[in-house]
Structure 1
Amino acid sequence: MSDLAAQARALQPRTLAMRRAIHRRPEIGLDLPHTRDAVVDALVDLPLQVHLGVGVSSVVAVLEGARPGPTVLLRGDMDALPMHEDTGLEFSSEVDGAMHACGHDTHVAMLASAARLLAGRRDELAGRVLFMFQPGEEGFHGARHMIDEGLLDATGPAGRPERAYALHISATIPAGELHLRPGPLMAAADTVRITVRGRGGHASAPHDAADPVPAAAAMIGALQTAISREIAAHDPAVLTIAHLTAGTTTNVIPETAFMEGTIRTLSAPVREHVREIVRRVCRYTALAHGCSADVSVEPGYPVTVNDAGAVDQLSAVGRDVLGRDRVLTMPSPILGAEDFSYVLEQVPGALAFLGGCPPAVDLATAPANHSNRVVFDESAMASGVAVYAGLALDALG
């Protein structure tokens, strides 16, 4: 373990070059041909068994150790976000309307360098490392698609992973720190869409119409009240209506109003309760206004739940590699969502946040992940490479 940080720093020029090349060519969703090819090129000279996805642009690489043993899975997601970049970096996105604003480009580069580091220490491994390069994390259920295509059986039934780990860089955590917690770490995320149907008419005569706009407005307030009245304060639940649209001009009452938003919860019972609240409140609020409501709830990612034993191992490796004061336990979950949850439903494991805030930037005002101005401290990638490699060596050494 004592050599890992130095070895990761020695690989930093390669890690840096790969990250910047991917950052310039961001791709969105499940089809990432350029990013996939960059991963394959980075691994081509290593003693790995490489499997490409069929329906998605995934890459699964297997490193067999020198002796038999268990399998450890390490994940790096690859996709970007549909947004314009305003960082001013010399390697800014060259693709209009696409940006690596969540740091997945750093994840790809860190995992590829960790594979190189571990390949050089293959004689120390009893078992195998399964490197999961995943598309479609940003709302496209990429991890689920990879599982459906046989990710967990890539080394045969006897080689199913016994542990699974992922790191996620964060622009609002000091560079090189590792933040994690056992149990629920991130939320389940569902999308709610509501169409309120009324009866259109002239805006000067609302009594001759059934106006869906005040019905929609009443629903938004009623939903927030219902959440605060029906969900216990110690069971976090967030319902945000983020998009509302209705009408075409000033003197027409429209026939419909449309709104959509997100539900975030940290347990299955609360998740189902909130879904029921949405359906009930919208239906009866619409009826009270002489309208009707069509409500759909699209299931999103499950709750991301860290295994306590895996968190202990990740914390121990982090302290050995980064220093005891660089590993912190998070006091509470966050309500973002992560599709590594699909893997953690089937394999005990953990996801941790790796600090990537540049040292000259104030944490309180640093542009966060998903900002068009987010910038990550690239030196933190060496820490991620070392932690990834350390997890495999600790589990398989």
Structure 2
Amino acid sequence: MSPPAAPIEGLHAHARSVQPRTVALRRALHRRPELGLDLPGTRDAVVAALADLPVQVHLGRSVSSVVAVLEGERPGPTILLRGDMDALPMPEDTGLPFASEVAGTMHACGHDTHVAMLASAAHVLAARRHELAGRVVFMFQPGEEGYHGARYMIEEGLLDHDGPAGRPDAAYALHISATLPPGEVHVRPGPLMAAADTIRVTVNGRGGHASAPHDALDPVPAAAAMVGALQTAVTRRIDTHQPVVLTIAHITAGTTVNVIPETAQLEGTLRCLSEVARAAMHEEVRRVCHHTAMAHGCTAEVEIENGYPVTVNDPGAASRVDALAGTVLGRKRVATMPTPIMGAEDFSYVLAQVPGALAFLGGCPRGVDPAVAAPNHSNRVVFDEEAMAAGVAVYAGLALAGL
């Protein structure tokens, strides 16, 4: 499609001019990462970063969210821009001078860069209010790493007609990636990221002495058989054109070498790119586990905890991201992703209600081959800070371009 008709001349240069602010906020957040839904320090840092802007700030009631609304100088659409704020429960081994000062907690998924880019985009847009039609909703969200933070914000009325800025007309988010070339934007229409559910199975047998398994009902062979049977179910019961990943990542049983335990536990993750495959796999997991247990004389208790839905980009919105990024950054720095990825994102909750798109921003360190760079969620992941200027420019450009 043709580039959007929007006043975005010099936008990347404008974003680079606020780079010191972007880097300072990013490093402050990186030093003091917080987990989950309660992020008081991060929330306060965001509020402070927006303090000198003409925005209306709304704080979450049940979670540490921040919603800021910037009104343009003429009527137009309402555009929502999201930046997630929470870190991961893991150590940091990057050796960076601004490494985490909180033991066992690290911004290993780049959410600190998302917050900093979104706050700086607010500064850029405030300086260009005369060019802005409609309004921008800046969504600073806690609890993306498995805590359903976006869902809490939606339940508090973020997307309602009588919400902080009325119902958004479009919603966009960027997610930095340490394994994409720095400053590039990658996007695709349709399913982008998977639904992610958690599987927990308890196999119930009858304990006994390890020397006399015939006098017991050993749950361990039943649990082991389930692992293989579940993989077979994926390849033999699901259409090969419906991508599914099922991984049993945690198996526990027993206490010592000469005791057959009474129970064995399996835990894993199920990733699907369609609700049809997701529903089919829920049924298959229950059927396979119950009948495999029965074949071994045991019983099985199966729990499937629903995680995030499939993240689906609206085709028109994805096309607008592509065109806007190409205009702001140059066509050579924009790419269409050939396939979805099987990670999950709770921006999916927003995209289920508002047409929009999530895109990936390359953040591989300069001089490092993206193929061998430490990836997101690694204790050694490092993001290129220069790439944040590209993210600021794209965020601001999407707001200025409107729908």
Q: TM-score, normalised to structure 2's length? A: 0.97
- For residue 241 of structure 1, what is the amino acid of its counterpart? I
For 2:200, the equivalent position in structure 1 comes to: 193
For 1:329, the equivalent position in structure 2 comes to: 336
- Partners in 1 of 2:9 and 2:374 — Cα distance? 34
For 1:11, the equivalent position in structure 2 comes to: 18
For 1:360, the equivalent position in structure 2 comes to: 367
- Partners in 2 of 1:106 and 1:52 — Cα distance? 21
1:361-390 Cα offsets, whole Å, 9 max, x none, are 121211100000000000000000000000
State the SS of the aligned residue for 1:241.
Answer: strand
- Partners in 1 of 2:118 and 2:111 — Cα distance? 11
- For residue 202 of structure 2, what is the amino acid of its counterpart? T
Q: Which moved more, 1:146-155 or 1:321-330?
A: 146-155
Identity %: 75
Shift of 1:157: 8.8
For 2:4, the equivalent position in structure 1 comes to: none
State the SS of the aligned residue for 1:240.
Answer: strand
- For residue 287 of structure 1, what is the amino acid of its counterpart? M
- For residue 103 of structure 1, what is the amino acid of its counterpart? G
For 2:316, the equivalent position in structure 1 comes to: 309
| Aligned with 1:150 (options 149, 153, 157) | 157
Shift of 1:323: 0.5
- Partners in 1 of 2:122 and 2:402 — Cα distance? 15
- Partners in 1 of 2:161 and 2:125 — Cα distance? 19
For 1:347, the equivalent position in structure 2 comes to: 354
Matches within 5 A, 1:75-224: 75-153=82-160, 156=163, 159-224=166-231
- For residue 19 of structure 2, what is the amino acid of its counterpart? Q
Q: Quick check: 1:2–1:320 contact (8 Å CA) kept in 2?
A: no
State the SS of the aligned residue for 1:159.
Answer: coil
- Partners in 2 of 1:363 and 1:119 — Cα distance? 35
Q: TM-score, normalised to structure 1's length? A: 0.98
Name structure 2 gaps, 5 residues minimum: 1-7
Across the aligned residues of Structure 1 and Structure 2, the Cα RMSD in angstroms comes to 1.1
Q: Quick check: 1:170–1:353 contact (8 Å CA) kept in 2?
A: yes
Shift of 1:153: 3.1
**Is residue 2:285 matched to residue 1:278?**
yes
| Aligned with 2:63 (options 37, 53, 56) | 56
Q: Quick check: 2:76–2:402 contact (8 Å CA) kept in 1?
A: no
Shift of 1:123: 1.1
For 1:40, the equivalent position in structure 2 comes to: 47
| Aligned with 2:378 (options 358, 371, 388) | 371
- Partners in 1 of 2:372 and 2:131 — Cα distance? 44
State the SS of the aligned residue for 2:136.
Answer: strand
- For residue 73 of structure 1, what is the amino acid of its counterpart? L
- For residue 236 of structure 2, what is the amino acid of its counterpart? R
- Partners in 2 of 1:158 and 1:194 — Cα distance? 44
- For residue 292 of structure 1, what is the amino acid of its counterpart? T
- For residue 93 of structure 2, what is the amino acid of its counterpart? D
Shift of 1:155: 6.2
- Partners in 2 of 1:332 and 1:155 — Cα distance? 37
Task: Count the aligned residue pairs.
Answer: 396
Query: Segments of 4+ in structure 1 off by > 4 A?
Result: 154-158
Shift of the 156–215 alpha-carbon distance from structure 1 to 2, 3 Å rule, reads: closer
Shift of 1:167: 0.1
